[in-house]
Amino acid sequence: MPGENGAQVTTRGVTFEGIEARLVEVQCALGGGLPAFSIVGLPDKAVSEARERVRAALAAMSIALPAQRITMNLAPADLPKEGAQFDLPIALALLATLGLVPPDQVADLVALGELSLDGRILPVPGALPAALAAAAEDRPLLCAPAAATEAAWSGAAAVFGAATLAQAIAHLTGRRPLEPARPGAAEAQAEHPDLTEIRGQERARRALEVAAAGRHHLFLVGTPGAGKTMLARSLPGLLPPLDPAEALETAMVHSRAGRLSGAISRQRPFCQPHHSASRAALTGGGSGALPGEISLAHNGVLFLDELPEFAPQVLEALRQPLETGEIVLARARARMRYPCRFLLVAAANPCRCGHLGDAARACARAPRCGEDYLGRISGPLMDRFDLRIEVPPVAYADLAQAPRGEASAPVAARVARAREIQRTRYADAPGVRTNAEAAGTLLERVATPDAEGAALLEKVHARFGLSARGYHRILRVARTIADLDGAEDVRRPHLAEAIGYRIPFQRGI
């Protein structure tokens, strides 16, 4: 019977491994001996402190703990448990052991939530992955109302939101059942600069289109005020909306980081960390090994303004994620894997003073200052930019006249058509969604140049000494340009344009 020595009740909570939630059995047993309340099973400090929060929350409801030894076991015992999300399952397991809620009700349940001292249930990060884990075992999820609107987006599990521990008890005892939660309202679309707001810069605008169509990394170099930041911020407006699978995957990352506001957005994320950001802030880590900016930008755009101002060790940490599309955070007690397939846009001045090309305004160290400044970016990292564009100062004639050139809408339509061509082309290639991810024999099959194009590539290789990575990146960009033109084959004009985007910065070509 509940409350007797040796009685045991089991419910379930969740712990996280990257963006994946893993179910954890929360076992409660009462035993003889001196009164005590212990939690075992490799808990961290936040989990160990749950006993005090649970004790206070129960006291606020006039529920006293028995004068017995209370043992909470979190199984499997060798899996690290982190976070305050275990408060609610610990409290429910204890209440069931005391006979205040039916043990069979909590046995089928997954619970997620932090308890305040007055018995309120507070939301915690990771509700969406927790709902998917609960659905995988056909179990309902009980959490705070704010987290329930987020978790309900999974569409696969029954999700209930209880504002207080008293409401949770009334639901589980059948006295006042809760209504299943509904997904929160979709997020409003963020506003991005339209291409018509960008004066001049026709070549840079074309590079934005190519980058968006094939998810090619873009590097912009130009004097201060030339429009580099506005070009980067207009890029999300050219990208197609997230498809359902991408939206769910992106939302799981944001949920794990505690940045999902109860709704899933179809808009691609745009992240712009300051150049003072640490390595952990960019790649992830810190307490709990949470995702960093590169994972929050998954399926979207990561904009690094003033690229040479970032710490060298921070920039070098980007090299492997740029190639693999994921980041693995290895810690002494955890190994987290986060996706980070993003479009990288970087901007830089040509030198520290910013006026390298203007003899009247350049500093006394020109041109050496430009070499030293851009030299802070390593060759291997520079090699990973498919498109390298010089952004010249805007002419007065462009500033004085009315806006001209295409708006974002028709460009976005061309990008969407090119993306659809790639989706169909790579339908049978696992992990390949755009031309930027094509490699090996797949790339050779879809981007084989014609005879004139092959001859041009041979001349470029002889003149500039293309690396193997540079050669393949030119082919990928040329394939994207051909897709924008609706061409089946990669021809010389496509290759000529792709080469032109790579030649201006010969270091590491």
Same domain? 255 vs 382: yes
Flag whether 360 is in a domain: yes
Is residue 175 over pLDDT 60? yes
User: Is residue 29 assigned to a domain?
Assistant: yes
More confident residue, 214 or 80: 214
352 domain residue, yes or no:
yes
Whether residue 163 is found in the same domain as residue 218: no
Residue 394 confidence class, pLDDT cut points 50, 70, 90: confident
DSSP assignment of 53-101 equals HHHHHHHHTT-PPPSSEEEEEEESTTS-B-SGGGHHHHHHHHHHHTTSS
Secondary element (H or E) of residue 51: helix 50-60
Tell me: cis bond preceding 367? Omega within 30 of 0 counts: yes
Q: Which pLDDT score, from 0 to 100, does residue 456 have?
A: 94
Helices in 215-296 by DSSP H: which ranges? 228-234, 244-256, 279-283, 293-296
State whether 116 and 238 are in the same domain: no
So what's the pLDDT on residue 1?
43
Q: What is the mean pLDDT of residues 369-375?
A: 82
Q: Which of 199-203, 438-442, 486-490 has the least mean pLDDT?
A: 199-203
Residue 13 lies in a domain: yes
Confidence of residue 363 (pLDDT cuts 50, 70, 90): confident
Of the two residues 509 and 340, the one the predictor is more confident about is 340
Q: What is the mean pLDDT of the chain?
A: 90
pLDDT value for 508: 38
* CA–CA gap between residue 158 and residue 172 (Å, rounded): 14
Read off the pLDDT of each residue in 75-84 and give the average, rounded to a whole number.
Answer: 90
The pLDDT of 2-30, averaged and rounded, is 85
> Are both 325 and 221 inside the same structural domain?
yes
pLDDT at 157: 81
Residue at which a domain ends, from 405, 431, 449: 405
Taking the C-alpha atoms of residue 315 and residue 45, their distance in angstroms, rounded to an integer, is: 33
Is 427 a member of any domain?
Answer: no
Instruction: With respect to residue 160, please indicate whether it lies within any of the assigned structural domains.
Output: yes
pLDDT tens digits, residue range 102-122?
999 999 999 999 999 999 999
Residue-wise pLDDT tens digits, 193-252? 899 888 888 899 999 999 999 999 999 998 888 889 999 999 999 999 999 889 999 999
- End-of-domain residue from the set 346, 374, 405: 405
| 16 and 78 housed in the same domain | yes
Specify the 3-state DSSP secondary structure of 375: coil
Question: Using an 8 Å Cβ cutoff, are 262 and 255 in contact?
Answer: no
Q: Over range 468-487, report the average pLDDT.
A: 94
Pairing relationship of beta strands 69-75 and 20-31 according to DSSP bridges: antiparallel
Query: Which of these three, 349, 378, 405, is where a domain ends?
Result: 405
Asked whether residue 201 falls in the same domain as residue 162, the answer is no
In 3-state terms, what secondary structure has residue 471? helix
With beta carbons less than 8 A apart as the criterion, state whether 191 and 233 touch. no
**Band of the pLDDT at 506, cuts 50, 70, 90?**
very low
Inside any domain, residue 411: no
pLDDT reported for residue 285: 82
Query: Which CATH number goes with the domain that contains 112?
Result: 3.30.230.10
Q: What is the mean pLDDT of residues 144-155?
A: 90
Average pLDDT over residues 292-320: 95
Question: Among 373, 325, 315, which Cα is nearest to 346's?
Answer: 315
Query: Measured at the alpha carbon of residue 259, what is the angle toward residues 312 and 74, in degrees to the nearest 5?
Result: 100
Of residues 405 and 361, more confidently modeled? 405
Angle at 242 between CA 248 and CA 247, to 5 degrees: 10
Residue 167 or residue 2, greater confidence? 167
Q: What percent of the chain has pLDDT over 90?
A: 70
| Whole-number Å distance between alpha carbons of 232 and 226 | 12
Whether 131 and 206 map to the same domain: the answer is no
Number of structural domains found in the chain = 2
Per-residue pLDDT at 507 exceeds 60: no
Q: Note whether 136 and 79 are same-domain residues.
A: yes
301 and 351 share one domain: yes
Does residue 501 fall inside a structural domain? no
Q: Which residue segment(s) compose the domain that 264 sits in?
A: 195-405
Confidence of residue 4 (pLDDT cuts 50, 70, 90): low
Q: What local confidence, expressed as pLDDT, does residue 188 receive?
A: 60
d(CA 498, CA 155): 43
Task: Please indicate, yes or no, whether residues 236 and 151 belong to a single structural domain of this protein.
Answer: no
Q: Of residues 222 and 163, which shows the higher confidence score?
A: 163
Mean pLDDT across 153-162: 89
Cis peptide before 312 (omega within 30 of 0): no
Structural contact between residues 114 and 84, judged by C-beta atoms closer than 8 angstroms? yes
Please list, in sequence order, all residues whose beta carbon lies within 8 angstroms of the beta carbon of residue 196, skipping any fewer than 6 positions away: 403, 404, 405, 406, 407, 408
Mark whether 118 and 48 lie in a shared domain.
Answer: yes
Contacts of 191 (CB under 8 A, 6+ apart): none
